A = this chain, B = another copy of it.
Amino acid sequence: MAAEQQVAIVIHGGAGTIKRENLSDEQEKAIKKDLQAALDAGYAILERGGDSTQSIIAAIKILEDSEHFNAGKGAVYTKPGKHELDASIMRGNDLEAGAVAGVSYTKNPILAAEQVMLNSPHVMLAGSGADTFSQLKGLEQVKNSYFDTPARYKAWQEVETKTKAKNADQASQQDVLDAEFKFGTVGAVAVDQNGDIAAGTSTGGMTYKAWGRVGDSPVIGAGTYADNRSCGISATGHGEFFIRYTVASDICARVRYQKLTLQQAAQEVIMTELKAVGGSGGVIGMDPKGKPVMVFNTSGMYRGYKTPESSKVAIYGDE
């Protein structure tokens, strides 16, 4: 391992309007506990010489299995009251990538994204085809109701009530966008002892989403990007902006072409360019030396990192 090369992992559990007054001490503690568990699991793999892809998968699985985050168990409900999950993964040494959009029965969507990357000629699979593929590859399948949680059901009911009071067209525009948890997403980026970067993102999407909406999480270049020549990024936020601004790959492009530091590039994209057009959200990222960044233009982002020198988990912007 080169002197300046360190192993490191950085994770997020979604950015958005996260305020102290809305989280009880118990909730805060439980969320931080799961973030720490994800960091520890991912870091342990790096520490014993494992690769960055396995590290981020270990971290993301824990976040998917936690009810506190909008990914896997705890995913929000679509308009018809079901769950459709998205995930993507990319590795920076060969730019291989995999993604699934709208899976309904795959317990851990990040594993389906990994299978697409490793064992299919494709990068992105959508809908029932993605579930079929995931089943074919022997991944654990669950009933769609496995993803149910009382908190997300309540959020769905609230939107449902509001929506039914209006006509469908008006409702589809604003209320859906206002839906709570719309920014919930989890992700991880790691660099291993070989200097290989990997990035992954997983989400339950937008509360009350309709029409097969695909957000940025399964879109390579928008929600996830990794390139050893520049950086690895996992994004969380108002997905439509992240797609239009190809946020993840644009940050890497600024590092690669403008020779900015990752921190500078992420700041410019998230705090200047996106903020100017109302694109709320944030990113976590890692440069090839193992330096983590966490940048968001919302009041909070569930997040954390672990390097050989330090480790931290945080929620609010002032932490």
Bound together, the chains give a CA A102 to CA B120 distance in angstroms of: 19
Min CB distance A298 to B, Å, is: 18
List the B side residues contacting A130 at CB < 8 Å.
211-212
Q: Considering the complex, which residues of chain A in the window 139-198 have a beta carbon less than 8 Å from any beta carbon of chain B?
A: 172-173, 176-177
Q: Which residues of B contact A173 (CB under 8 A)?
A: 121
A244-B96, A246-B225, A250-B249 in contact; A102/B124 too (CB < 8 A)?
A: no
State whether A212 touches B128 (Cβ < 8 A).
Answer: yes
Within the complex, the shortest CB–CB distance from A215 to chain B, in Å, comes to 8
In the bound complex, do residue B219 and residue A124 qualify as a contact, i.e. CB atoms below 8 Å apart? yes
B214 and A101 contact, CB distance less than 8 A: yes
Q: Name the residue in A121, A212, A215 with the highest tally of chain B Cβ atoms < 10 Å from its Cβ.
A: A212
Residue of B nearest to A239 (CB): B123
Verify A122–B220 contact, CB threshold 8 A. Answer: no
Contact of A244 among B97, B121, B126, B245 (CB under 8 A): B97
Interface residues as binary, A236-249 with B (CB distance below 8 Å gives 1, 0 otherwise): 00011001111001
Q: Which of A67-102 contact B (CB under 8 A)?
A: 90, 95-97, 101-102
Residue of chain B at shortest CB distance from A126 = B212
Sample of 26 A–B contacts (CB below 8 Å): A95-B277, A101-B126, A102-B126, A121-B172, A121-B173, A122-B211, A122-B213, A122-B214, A123-B239, A124-B215, A125-B211, A126-B126, A128-B212, A129-B210, A129-B211, A129-B213, A133-B211, A219-B221, A220-B222, A220-B246, A221-B222, A221-B246, A249-B253, A253-B257, A257-B257, A257-B258
Query: Which residues of A are in contact with B by a Cβ distance under 8 Å?
Result: 90, 95-97, 101-102, 120-130, 132-133, 172-173, 176-177, 210-215, 219-222, 225, 239-240, 243-246, 249-250, 253-254, 257-258, 277
Per CB-CB distance, the 10 closest pairs between chain A and chain B, nearest first, are A129-B212, A129-B211, A221-B246, A253-B253, A257-B257, A124-B214, A126-B212, A221-B221, A133-B211, A246-B249
Known: A101-B214, A125-B213; 9 extra A-B contacts, CB below 8 A, are: A90-B244, A97-B243, A122-B213, A124-B215, A129-B210, A133-B211, A219-B220, A246-B249, A253-B254
